[in-house]
Amino acid sequence: MSTPTARQVSTARVKELIAREEEAFRKARPRSHKLWEEARQVMPRGVPSSFQDASPQPVFADRGRGSRVWDVDGNEYVDFHNGFGVMVVGHAHPKIVDAVSRRIAQGSHFAQPVADDLDVARELARRFGLPQWRFTNSGTESTLDAVRIARGFTGRQRLIKMEASYHGHHDALMVSVEPPPELMGPPDEPASVPQSDGIPPAIVELTSVVPFNDLQALERAFSRHPDDVAAVIVEPAMMNVGIVVPDPGYLAGLRDIAHRNGALLIFDEVKTGVTIAAGGATERFGVTPDLIALAKAIGGGLPCGAVGGRADVMEVIEAKRVAQMGTFNGNPLTMAASKVTLLEILDRSAYAHFDALAETLQGGLDGVIAEHELPFHAITLAARGGVTYRAQRVRNYRDYLEIDKSFAYLSWLYQCNRGVLMAPGAEENWTLSVQHSADDVQRYVDNFAEMARDLRA
Ligand SMILES: Cc1ncc(COP(=O)(O)O)c(C=O)c1O
């Protein structure tokens, strides 16, 4: 993984390259800039979601097809952002266009169950090995429902989450999501820090925080709150601070400790689900939790989410003890797109394709890193991957904090300026689609190689 001979990179050189690339970035995007300025008059920060607000300025998208997107200035990109990991089917996939067009011509919303619900729920049950499913419209709703189900099932209130993990924008889990170092507390017992103003301290207090990949810290958190914890929620491979993979045995350990203490284990597979394997992290790491939250890629580009669980746990909904609802849950357009995505597009050959592309990326990036003796490493997990800008593996948030973020930002600028769109936020995760080709991913490697040469120049 890491290069034994890795050498420091001059920070002055990084700064110099950032200034050059930012100028080129702005120069090529005047229309985006104009729209952004106008948008600021009617939307805070000029964007519909704060995640779309990134330096040096947002890129306004125009259209997409296959592995490509075009911005409003006519710049063409290979899409490595893929709508924050949603568009694993690629843009305007003919099967999705067909299914959604046929469905909308027959009515787009009834708030009544439709036959497609069954096919999607059955397929999720097959892939994830949990029998009962309900639909939502986003990852936020899925983790919100999972938490409520766990609290209803156990009759307990407290949650345990991992430091830095993001599980959506509801109060209970907007706790210690990349907390500022001065507030985060000691590494073995992190503080619970609200992510935003507007979250009541009484809610924050109900969420305990532990470091990822640390079972002893979890044991200690349980012993501080005996008979009080409803659930441990974890993103089985963390994907918002680069990619942080679980230590061998860690996920099984989480489940054992949770169960020994009468709590449930929730996997937030909003990003990992159907992208790192057909059955997400549950399949890839071989540990089945009690509840799973899904969203993003399962909807083929429409707003879709799902929460699934053990039969006895989901019984709380059947028995009307826990309310799970939503006007748009199981929307016919969403279900039509999800059905085609799961039953026709993301088949066995799709995952073989992701693995082949991942191999090209891993091999190409490892080669560049070794050649230039860079203190970086690449991680690939089927359709997902990224570069971590330090030589050693990152095991938790505290490790991540040691990374100089200017490398990720520079890389983001290099890629965007050379025809590869990356997710705003410079965290360097990418998502591939079934429509990406070997040439598409080679473009990323070539851009990375150019940056490596420039860093050493
Ligand atoms: C792991 C994880 N969980 C939950 C969410 C929230 O999903 P949404 O933005 O669809 O509400 C996200 C969003 O990025 C996520 O990455």
What letter does residue 244 receive in the DSSP assignment? B
Q: How far apart are CA 434 and CA 134, in angstroms?
A: 27
Question: Is pLDDT of 389 > 60?
Answer: yes
Q: Which atom of ligand 1 is nearest to the CA of 240?
A: 16
pTM: 0.97
Question: Is pLDDT of 128 > 70?
Answer: yes
Centre of ligand 1 from the C-alpha of residue 294, in Å? 9
**The two structure tokens encoding residue 198:** 């507007």
Strands 229-234 and 61-65 turn out to be unpaired
Centre of ligand 1 from the C-alpha of residue 367, in Å? 33
Give the CA count within 13 Å in the CB-facing half-sphere of 298.
34
- The answer to whether 368 touches 216, Cβ cutoff 8 Å, is no
From 3-17, 114-128, 241-255, 407-421, the region with the lowest mean pLDDT: 3-17
pLDDT at 141: 98
Q: Which residues are catalytic?
A: 166, 268, 296
Using CA atoms, how far residue 341 sits from 124, 203, 259, 273, 297, in Å, is 12, 37, 34, 13, 8
Ligand 1 pocket mutation pick from 143, 235, 296 by most atoms within 8 angstroms of CB: 296
Question: Is pLDDT of 200 > 90?
Answer: yes
Q: Partners of 384 in the beta sheet?
A: 381, 431
SS (H, E, C) 156-178: CCEEEEECCCCCCCCHHHCECCC
Q: Is residue 440 within 6 Å of ligand 1 at its C-beta?
A: no
Give the mean pLDDT of the chain.
Answer: 97
pLDDT at 5: 72
Centre of ligand 1 from the C-alpha of residue 169, in Å? 8
pLDDT tier for residue 154 given thresholds of 50, 70 and 90: very high
Helix axes 94-104, 332-340, angle to 10 degrees: 150
pLDDT at 376: 96
Please give the average per-residue pLDDT across 358-368, as a whole number.
98
- The answer to whether 288 touches 279, Cβ cutoff 8 Å, is no
- Per-residue pLDDT tens over the stretch 282-332: 999 999 999 999 999 999 999 999 999 999 999 999 999 999 999 999 999
pLDDT at 4: 58
**The two structure tokens encoding residue 270:** 């909003």
Q: How many residues does the chain have?
A: 457
Ligand 1 pocket mutation pick from 166, 233, 276 by most atoms within 8 angstroms of CB: 166
Question: Is pLDDT of 167 > 80?
Answer: yes
Token look-up 């059905």 returns: 339
Please give the average per-residue pLDDT across 417-437, as a whole number.
91
Centre of ligand 1 from the C-alpha of residue 166, in Å? 7
Task: Catalogue all structural domains in the chain, each as residue range(s) with its CATH number.
Answer: 11-88+347-456 (3.90.1150.10), 94-345 (3.40.640.10)
Q: What are phi and psi of 104, to 5 degrees?
A: -70, -30
